[in-house]
Amino acid sequence: MVSSANPLKDWQVDRRSIRTIGHDLQRPECILAERDGTLWVADARGGVMRINADGSQQLILPVVEREPGTGPTPESGASFEERYVQAQGSLPNGLAFAENGDLIIANWGTDAVEIMTRDGRLRTLYREIDGQPLGKANFVLRDSKNRIWLSVNTREHPWTNQLNTRTADGYIALIDERGIRIVAEGFCGTNEIRFDAREEWLYVVESTAWRISRLRLQPDGSLTDREIYGPARLPGFPDGFAFDAYGNLWVTLIFTDQLIAITPEGEVLTLLDDSNPETQARLFAHYESHTLTPEILAATHGTIAPWLASLTFGGPDLRTVYLGSLRGTTIPYFRSPVPGQPMIHWH
């Protein structure tokens, strides 16, 4: 973070400058950007869409290694097709790059943490924790020590109950050489997680509580000193977020499709507002009365990136902002006045 004037003050996204990349996407919720301009995008058909810098794209669908004893073994000279079967029920949500470039996946459909090679060979890392099902695996993040962090939204069935009950049963898990373990719990609709530039704090989206929390990271991976970051209540449902190089925390508000930023001083700046005042008012009224329904949610969305869910900084200078969404079919992008904080794979 620098001490000069905040570049986001008095700045907003110029809608006329927004361009798009990718086509016929399905639920492009999470986006990973590489230095060469390649984008990797979660896709509701159960795989990941690779979008090249020139706009060409390829859907990579996962195939799962057969269970031992159910098919030919590698030693018997089995072909790739004989050893693997198509994954079922896959719905990739959060993505992260492993150290070797493989894709780590928080799979909302299979309630699992998975790892997939760039040609689609997939294996499951974890489906359970402490002898219980994981719950709704939402997001994954790798840190500088090559540890994997997982956010789990809820263990409620169906998960949509959480929109009204707001049960604080979400948690953060850590995957390292010891295996998987819960390191923080009691979150309300746990969504994306991010570290600051020095990995001193882990930031946590609590979607159904309308807030951002953070916890201090200890050397052993434990998390302490939990506190709310920024306002105690944001103006809507936060979903995805990312830091810029100045220290602003950019946050997407899903359903109302707004992009805001929380400054280091805690001020909220509106960077893009694609909301519909009428449907927003109805949504908020039902949120307050705990009477949200799928129909009310479905009627609430904007036009640029419907159900705006995430943002990713990319481009050679990290000043290109890509927007992920749950109901869009393409990826809108625009230029930022400040570069993003590089993710661990950028180095």
Q: With respect to residue 14, please indicate whether it lies within any of the assigned structural domains.
A: no
Structure confidence at residue 84 (pLDDT): 59
Q: What is d(CA 235, CA 248) in angstroms, rounded to the nearest whole number?
A: 17
Average pLDDT over residues 218-227: 97
Share of the chain above pLDDT 90, in %: 89
Structure confidence at residue 75 (pLDDT): 46
Structure confidence at residue 87 (pLDDT): 75
Share of the chain above pLDDT 70, in %: 93
Q: With respect to residue 336, please indicate whether it lies within any of the assigned structural domains.
A: yes
Q: What is d(CA 132, CA 154) in angstroms, rounded to the nearest whole number?
A: 13
**Which domain does 145 fall in, by range?**
20-346
- Residue 158: is the preceding peptide bond cis (ω within 30°)? yes
Structure confidence at residue 82 (pLDDT): 52
Query: Do the Cβ atoms of 341 and 242 come closer than 8 Å?
Result: yes
Quickly state the pLDDT bin for 256 (edges 50, 70, 90).
very high
Average pLDDT over residues 269-295: 97
Cβ-based neighbours of 10, under 8 Å, separated by 6 or more: none
Least confident of 1-15, 77-91, 95-109: 77-91
Quickly state the pLDDT bin for 79 (edges 50, 70, 90).
low
Query: Do the Cβ atoms of 32 and 51 come closer than 8 Å?
Result: no
Q: What is d(CA 261, CA 256) in angstroms, rounded to the nearest whole number?
A: 15
Residue 323's nearest CA partner among 305, 301, 297 is 305
Torsion sign (Cα): 297, 271, 281, 204:
positive
Structure confidence at residue 72 (pLDDT): 47
Quickly state the pLDDT bin for 302 (edges 50, 70, 90).
very high
Cβ-based neighbours of 264, under 8 Å, separated by 6 or more: 1, 246, 247, 248
Quickly state the pLDDT bin for 73 (edges 50, 70, 90).
very low
In 220-281, the DSSP E strands lie at 223-229, 237-243, 249-254, 258-262, 268-273
Which of 119-151 are b and which e, b meaning 16 or more Cβ less than 10 Å from the residue's Cβ?
ebbbeebbeebeeeebbbbbbbbbbeeeebbbb
146: left (phi over 0), alpha (psi -120 to 50) or beta: left
Helix, strand, coil percentages, rounded to 5, for the chain? 10, 45, 45
Q: Which of the 8 DSSP states describes residue 208? A: G
Cβ-based neighbours of 296, under 8 Å, separated by 6 or more: 282, 283, 286
Q: What are phi and psi of 24, to 5 degrees?
A: 55, 35
Q: With respect to residue 2, please indicate whether it lies within any of the assigned structural domains.
A: no
In 132-277, the DSSP E strands lie at 132-133, 137-142, 148-152, 170-176, 179-187, 190-195, 201-206, 211-217, 223-229, 237-243, 249-254, 258-262, 268-273
Strand partners, 140: 150
Average pLDDT over residues 260-273: 98
Q: What is d(CA 221, CA 183) in angstroms, rounded to the nearest whole number?
A: 8
Q: With respect to residue 7, please indicate whether it lies within any of the assigned structural domains.
A: no
Average pLDDT over residues 12-24: 98
Residue 271's nearest CA partner among 32, 10, 23 is 10
Q: With respect to residue 320, please indicate whether it lies within any of the assigned structural domains.
A: yes
Q: With respect to residue 69, please indicate whether it lies within any of the assigned structural domains.
A: yes
Structure confidence at residue 77 (pLDDT): 52
- Tokens representing 299 are 């009627």
Query: Do the Cβ atoms of 185 and 213 come closer than 8 Å?
Result: no
Q: What is d(CA 192, CA 153) in angstroms, rounded to the nearest whole number?
A: 9
Element (H, E) at 286: helix 277-288
Structure confidence at residue 169 (pLDDT): 96
Structure confidence at residue 67 (pLDDT): 62
In whole numbers, what is the pLDDT of the chain averaged over residues? 93
Count of domains forming the chain? 1
Q: With respect to residue 253, please indicate whether it lies within any of the assigned structural domains.
A: yes
CATH number of the domain where residue 197 is located:
2.120.10.30
Structure confidence at residue 4 (pLDDT): 84
Average pLDDT over residues 26-36: 97
Q: With respect to residue 219, please indicate whether it lies within any of the assigned structural domains.
A: yes
Please measure the distance between the N-terminal and C-terminal CA atoms of the chain and give it in whole angstroms: 18
